[in-house]
A and B are shown apart, each in its own frame.
Chain A
């Protein structure tokens, strides 16, 4: 059927099918029916020799279990492939960045840096056209976006890293579990605002717990108070805590059921 199926031939395929049919039902499954954990152990290669044989006997005898086993094998293969691809990319990059290329890249970078520093010093006025003033960032819009991102990341960060007690306080939200969740590798580089927000949430929760206040609404009020007190560095919207908290309140209502 498939010529390149790991060099197996039709003859071998036929032999295997005959053999499987001939030996089907020759032996009864041995031992207890395997649990999910034992399937995981088999996949990880951590079952004892005897139990391994027993679990295999059940897999061979039970079509549902065999189907589950194959799905598991395929899932592992799919997930491993992603990891391997990332590793391969790094390996290719390492191979590409040999000492000769590194030397060349270093020289080029040094030259570019020199030009970038020296040119503005030579003629700063020439760099700015009188007709076209230096553009300023759109703080209003970018601020809102930053806020939204920060609030979402902050809640997620809190969920992931901060406290089991807080996870219980904020019920699992499907939207939260499926959207805007940063990769663990990016957590350390998260917006500082998000980290502050996460810490504030936790602090707020603890304060509410100590005061015997458990409802999400009261927690939100407390969070709002704490956010007002928060000094946000170099962020235009921070000068307007009311707007900030209104937005936060809206976001929290969106996220917390």
Chain B
């Protein structure tokens, strides 16, 4: 596909967008400029080699946006390293990991993290504030030591798909045993009750002990297709507003709300069938 990538990327409008995205991502002007330059360097390297995989199916602008967001994160990894977050944090979802990274690794101020993550009103301030509170309560060392860890050879844009592949096996859970059931329910418990001062002590005090059989029943009774899972993750794990989710999944604005209503009804039916009552949590 013959596209004038230099003309597209170096046009003032796109450069302004790039600067804006970098500034939103890294807050500090100097770091944002460094990130912008990194993206431009990577995109234009070897006569725009990384753009050459473009087959002409997507809009060129969206394609460049995809590469740009990827490269901004790649810059962050190279600048701050790639340290594995605690297991409990990983189970909470991607937004928690991202928040942890911003607060604990990149040592950004709480206000600027909230500002970034609630940009354009894509999610509520309270949602992000709640996550930060829990992370800081559980990880008191968070953000206290300077960490500038140059990454090694990983994360080259040319082997992006390989990088994605390498993590697939690690992130897929083949089954949930009894202990995992405990974890999952503990997670919900913390979500609902422990906003003020969550801690590991909650494990000892919570009163939700369900059997593995009940959990298995729930798994057998409940099924979600890929779109439904993605919808739930974007709305509840990421805290994205329904309007943003609708735009991302190319739905009418009213559609995510309707889908969620139907999904919740099915979840409630499945919970009922497994004799799991969430009402006790309220």
Contacts and interface: CB of A to CB of B under 8 A. Distances in A.
A235 interface: no
B237 A20 contact: yes
B165 A71 contact: no
27 contacts: A1-B195, A2-B239, A5-B239, A6-B235, A6-B241, A8-B235, A16-B267, A17-B188, A17-B236, A17-B237, A18-B184, A22-B184, A22-B270, A26-B223, A29-B168, A36-B70, A37-B57, A37-B58, A40-B63, A58-B168, A64-B163, A67-B94, A68-B73, A70-B240, A71-B72, A77-B248, A184-B13
A77 B72 contact: no
Contact of B225 (A11, A40, A53): A53
Interface in B259-282: 260, 263-264, 267-268, 270-271, 276, 278-279, 281-282
Contacts of B98: 67
A257 B250 CA distance: 45
Given A81-B120, A184-B11, A174 B40 contact: yes
B148 to A, nearest CB: 21
Contacts of A80: 120, 247
A232 interface: no
B63 A56 contact: no
Contacts of A29: 168
A64 B120 contact: no
Interface size class, chain B? 35 or more
A202 to B, nearest CB: 15
A164 interface: yes
A10 B176 CA distance: 24
A236 interface: no
Interface of A: 1-6, 8, 10-29, 33, 35-41, 43-46, 52-53, 56-68, 70-82, 156, 159-160, 164, 167, 172, 174, 177-178, 181-184
Q: Which 3 pairs show the lowest CB-CB distances between chains A and B?
A: A45-B250, A40-B58, A21-B184
Given A18-B188, A77-B120, A35 B226 contact: no
B191 A14 contact: yes
Contacts of A2: 124, 126-127, 130, 239
Contact of A68 (B69, B173, B250): B69
A23 B191 CA distance: 19
A73 B180 CA distance: 31
A160 B126 contact: no
Interface in B92-141: 94-95, 97-98, 119-120, 122-124, 126-127, 130
Interface string B56-77: 0111001101111110110000
B247 A77 contact: yes
Contacts of B236: 8, 12-13, 16-17, 20
Given A22-B218, A26-B219, A35 B130 contact: no
B interface secondary structure, majority: helix
A239 to B, nearest CB: 33
B255 interface: no
Contacts of A77: 119-120, 122, 244, 247-248
B89 to A, nearest CB: 12
Contacts of B248: 43, 73, 76-77
A77 B127 CA distance: 18
Nearest to A18: B188
A178 B33 CA distance: 9
Given A22-B222, A24-B173, A64-B167, A73 B244 contact: yes
B178 interface: no
A80 B65 CA distance: 12
B12 A183 contact: yes
A171 to B, nearest CB: 10
Nearest to A186: B12
Given A18-B184, A22-B176, 14 more contacts: A1-B126, A18-B218, A18-B267, A19-B263, A36-B63, A37-B57, A41-B57, A44-B59, A56-B226, A78-B120, A160-B10, A167-B6, A174-B40, A184-B13
Contacts of B222: 19, 22-23
B229 A60 contact: yes
B282 A11 contact: yes
Contact of A13 (B24, B95, B191, B226): B191
A68 B70 contact: yes
